[in-house]
Structure 1
Amino acid sequence: MSIKKLLSIGLLIFIPISIAAERLEWGALTVFITAAIAIVPLAIWLSTATEEVAVITGPSVGGLLNAVFGNATELIIALAALRAGLVDIVKASITGTVVSNLLLVMGLSMFLGGLRYKEQEFQPVVARVNGSTMTLAVTAIVLPALVVSTSGGVNEPEIAQLSRAAAIILMVVYALTLVFSLKTHSYLYDVGVVELEEEAAAEEDHKPNLWLWLGVLIVSTVAVAYESEIFVGAVEEATKGLGLSPLFTGVILLPLVGGAAEYVTAVSVALKNNMDLSVSVAMGSSLLVALFVAPLLVLIGQALGQPMDLNFNLFEVVAVTAAVALANLISLDGRSNWLEGALLLATYAVLGAAFYFHPA
C-alpha cells in the first residue's frame, strides 16, 4: 500500500477525535492539532476523487475539474478564516501557498527524485508558460503594495477598487490559461492525464464508478468545510499560545495543512521519474491560487464586508517574487537534479525562519 493510501485511511481517526476535542473543550491547542491532522486525509480523498472523475470523464472535463478542485482544500480553509474575520491570516495563506508549492513541493520533488535518478527531465515549454503567467500574477500582487508605499496616502476604498480590478483581470487570465491548456495547446499537458490513466489501468480489475467518486468528492468537500470551521475556530488562540504570529501561521502552517495532497502526489510521481507531472502539480497549484483563489477571495471578502484586498505587506511581496524568480530560473532548462531541489528547499527554510522572526 502506498504512503498516500496509508495517510488517507490511517489519519481518518482524527476526524472524530477533533470533533470530540471541540465539543468537550479539550483546549484550543488540542483542537487545532487534531483538526489540522484530520484535514490531511480529507484533502487526499478530495484530490483522489477529483483525479478518478478526471480519468472517467476524459481530458477536457477532467482537466477542468482538476483546475477547479485542485486547491479546494486551501480555498475552503481560507473561506472559513475569511468568514471569521481573519483577513491577515487569509492573505498570508495566499502568499504561503504560492511559496510552498514553488519552493517546498518542487524542491522536495527535485531533491528526492534527484537522489534516485541522476538527472530528470520535463517539458521546458510548459514551465516557461507557467512561469510567464506567474510573473503576471506576482505583478498584480506587487502593484497594490507599491501604490501604497510610493504614494502620500491611499484611502482603503481606492485600494479595494484597485484590488477588484486586478482580481477580475487575473480571473480572465486564468480562464485564458484553461483555454490554452485544455483546448488550443492541450497536447502539451497530456502527460498528466496519461499518468493518471496508466495508474488506473495498472490496478487489477480497476473499474472507476463515476457516481461513487462524485459522492466521495461531495462528502470530502463537506467534511473539509466542517473540519476547517473547527480548525479556524481554534487557530488564533492556539497559535498565540505557541508564540506564533498570524503571518507565520498563514504563510507556513496553513499551506502545510491544506496542501498535503499536492505534496504527496508531486513527490510520489517524481520518485517514479515523471517530473513532467510533478512540476505541473507544483506550478499549476501556484497558478490556481494566484490567478483564481486569491481574486475570488478578494471578491467574496468584499461582498461579506471583510477588508480583503491585494495589498500584501512588502515582506510577503518580496518572498513571493523571490520564489517565482528562483522557480523560473531553475525550471527554465527542463532538467532537474538533487542540488537544484536542495537550493529550493534551502530558500524555503530561510524564508520560513524570516517569517518566524518577523514581528508582524
Structure 2
Amino acid sequence: MSGKNILFLTLLLFIPVSLTAHFLEWGDLIVFITAALAILPLAGWMGTATEEIAVVVGPSLGGLLNATFGNATELIIALVALNAGLIDVVKASITGSIISNLLLVMGFSMLLGGLRYKEQTFQSVVARVNASSMNLAVIAMLLPTAMNYTSIGISERIVQNLSLAVAVVLIVVYGLTLLFSMKTHSYLYDVGVADTESEAEEVDHQKPNIWLWSGVLLVCTLLVALESELLVDTLEVATSKLGLTALFTGVILVPIIGNAAEHATAVTVAMKDKMDLSMSVAVGSSMQIALFVAPVLVIAGRIMGQPMDLDFNPFELVAVTVSVLIANSISSDGQSNWLEGTLLLAAYMVLGFAFYFHPVV
C-alpha cells in the first residue's frame, strides 16, 4: 500500500472524531479542525473514484466526468456555505481557488519538477488557449463589480441579473472548452492522457469495477456534504478564535482543504517530468472554478433565494488579475524551470500576507 493511501486511511479516522465532537459539543474550533482533516481524504478518494470510472466509460465520457467532478468537493462546500448565507466566504473561496491553483500548485509543480529536471516542457498552444480562457474569466468577474462601482444608485437586483446573464455565457464557454479539448483538438491533450493510460496498463490489465467505484464516489460525496455542514457551521466562531478573518479563511484555507488531493497529484506528476499533465490539473482546475463552479453558484443562489452575484471585493479582483497575469506570462512559452516555480510561490506568499493583514470591512 502506498504512503498516500496509508495517509488517507489514517485521516478517515477524523470522520467519526468530527461527528463525536459535534454531538458531544467539544467546541467549534475542534469540530472545524477535525471536519477539515476529514474532508482531505474524502476529496482524494472522490478524485480516484472519478478516474477509475473514467477508465471504464471511455475517454469522451470519462473526460466529461472528470470535468464535472474535478472540483466537486469545493462546489459542495461552497453550496453549503451559500445555503447558510455566507456569501462573502463563497466569493472568497472562488477567488482563492483560482489563485491557489495558478500560483501555489503550478509554483510547487515547477519548483519541485525543476529541481529534478533542468527544464521541463508542455504544450504552448494549450497554455495560450488556457490563458485566453482565464482572461475571459477575469473580464467576467470584473464587469459586474465595475458596473456597481461606476453607477450611482444601481440596485442589487440589476447586478444579480447581469451576473446571471454572464454566468450563462461562461457555462456555454466552458462547454465549448470541453468540446475543444475532448473532440476537435483532442490531439493537443493526448500527451498526458497517453502517459496516464500506459501507467494504468502497466499496473493492472483488468478494468476497474465500475459499481464499486461508483459506490465509493456516492459515499464520499455524501460524507463530504456532511463534513461540509460541520465545517461551515463552525467556520465563523473557529476562525475568529484563530484570529483569522472570513476573507483570509475563504481565500486561503477553504481552497487548500477542498483541493489538497488534486494539488498533490499535480506536484507528483510534475516530479515525474509530466508537466503537460501537471499543467492540465492546475490550470484546468482554475478554469473549471472560473467558468463552471462560479456560474453554477450564481444560478444556485438565485434558486436558493441567496443574493449570490459576480460583484467581488475589489481587493480580491486585483489578486485574481495579478495571479492570471503572472501565470500566463510564465506558462506562455511552454517551458518551465525551478526559478519560475519560485516566482509563482513568492507571488502566492505575498498575496497570502496581504489577505492576512487585510482589515475586516
- Matches of 1:286 and 1:106 in 2, distance apart? 11
Unaligned runs of 5+ in 1: none
Q: How much has 1:204 moved relative to structure 2?
A: 4.8
CA contact (8 A) 1:200 1:206 kept: no
Q: Which string of whole-angstrom CA distances, capped at 9 and with x for unpartnered residues, describes residues 38-73 of structure 1?
A: 000000000000111111211101100010000000
| Secondary structure of 2:13's aligned partner | helix
Q: How do residues 289-304 of structure 1 correspond to structure 2 at under 5 angstroms?
A: 289-304=289-304
Q: Distance in 2 between matches of 1:219 and 1:9?
A: 15
Tell me the distance in 2 between the aligned counterparts of 1:348 and 1:174.
26
The TM-score with structure 1 as length reference comes to 0.98
Q: Distance in 1 between matches of 2:99 and 2:2?
A: 27
Partners of 2:95 and 2:251 within 8 A in 1: yes
Q: 1:265-298 deviations in whole A, cap 9, x for unaligned?
A: 1001001000000000000000000001000001
Aligned partner of 2:180 in structure 1 is: 180
Give, as a single letter, the amino acid of the residue that structure 2 aligns with 1:268.
Answer: T
Which residue of structure 2 aligns with residue 108 of structure 1?
108
The code of the aligned residue for 1:313 comes to N
Give 1:7 deviation, angstroms: 2.7
Q: 1:231 matched to which residue of 2? A: 231
1:287 alignment counterpart: 287
Q: Give the Cα–Cα distance (whole angstroms) in 1 for the partners of residues 291 and 265 of structure 2.
A: 22
Partner Cα separation in structure 2 for residue 16 and residue 43 of structure 1: 17
Aligned residue type for 1:328: N
Aligned to 1:73: 73
Question: How many angstroms does 1:358 deviate by?
Answer: 0.6
In 2: Cα distance, 1:266 partner to 1:114 partner? 14
> How far, CA to CA, are the matches of 2:311 and 2:285 in structure 1?
22
Alpha-carbon contact 2:55-2:207 (below 8 Å) kept: no
**In structure 1, C-alpha distance between the alignment counterparts of 2:146 and 2:28, rounded to whole Å:** 37
CA distance in 1, matches of 2:292, 2:13: 33
Which residue of 1 is the match for residue 120 of structure 2?
Answer: 120
**Alignment correspondent of 1:208:** 208
1:210-239 CA-partner distances (Å, limit 9, x unpaired): 111111111111111111111111111101
Separation in 2, partners of 1:198, 1:319: 39
Separation of aligned partners in 2, 1:136 and 1:314: 17
Per-residue CA deviation, residues 74-127 of structure 1 (Å, 9 max, x unaligned), is: 000000101111000000000000000000000010001111111111111111
- Quote the offset at 1:182 in angstroms: 1.1
| Superposition deviation, residue 2 in structure 1 | 3.8
Query: Would you say the 8 A contact 1:55–1:193 is kept in 2?
Result: no
The answer to whether the Cα contact below 8 Å between 1:55 and 1:196 also exists between their aligned partners in 2 is no
Which deviates more from structure 2 when the two are superposed, residues 231-240 or residues 1-10? 1-10
Which residue of structure 2 lines up, in the alignment, with residue 17 of structure 1? 17
Partner of residue 269, structure 1: 269
Unaligned runs of 5+ in 2: none
Once the 2 structures are TM-superposed, how far is the Cα of residue 3 of structure 1 from its aligned partner? 4.2
CA distance in 2, matches of 1:155, 1:114: 50
Is the contact made by 2:56 and 2:207 (CA closer than 8 Å) also made in structure 1?
no
TM-aligned CA deviation for residue 152 of structure 1 = 2.1
Q: 2:99, 2:348 within 8 Å by CA — same for their partners in 1? A: yes
Q: Write the letter of the residue equivalent to 2:265.
A: T
Shift of 1:5: 2.1
TM-score by length of 2: 0.97
- The 5 A counterparts of 1:59-208 are 59-204=59-204, 207-208=207-208
Is the CA contact 2:192–2:274 (under 8 Å) kept in the aligned structure 1? Answer: no
Contact in 1 for aligned 2:119/2:336 (Cα 8 Å):
yes
Provide the rounded CA distance (Å) in 2 between the counterparts of 1:2 and 1:128. Answer: 36
| AA partner of residue 319 (structure 2) | A
Provide the C-alpha distance between the structure 2 equivalents of 1:29 and 1:125, rounded to a whole number of angstroms: 46
Match of 1:49 in 2: 49
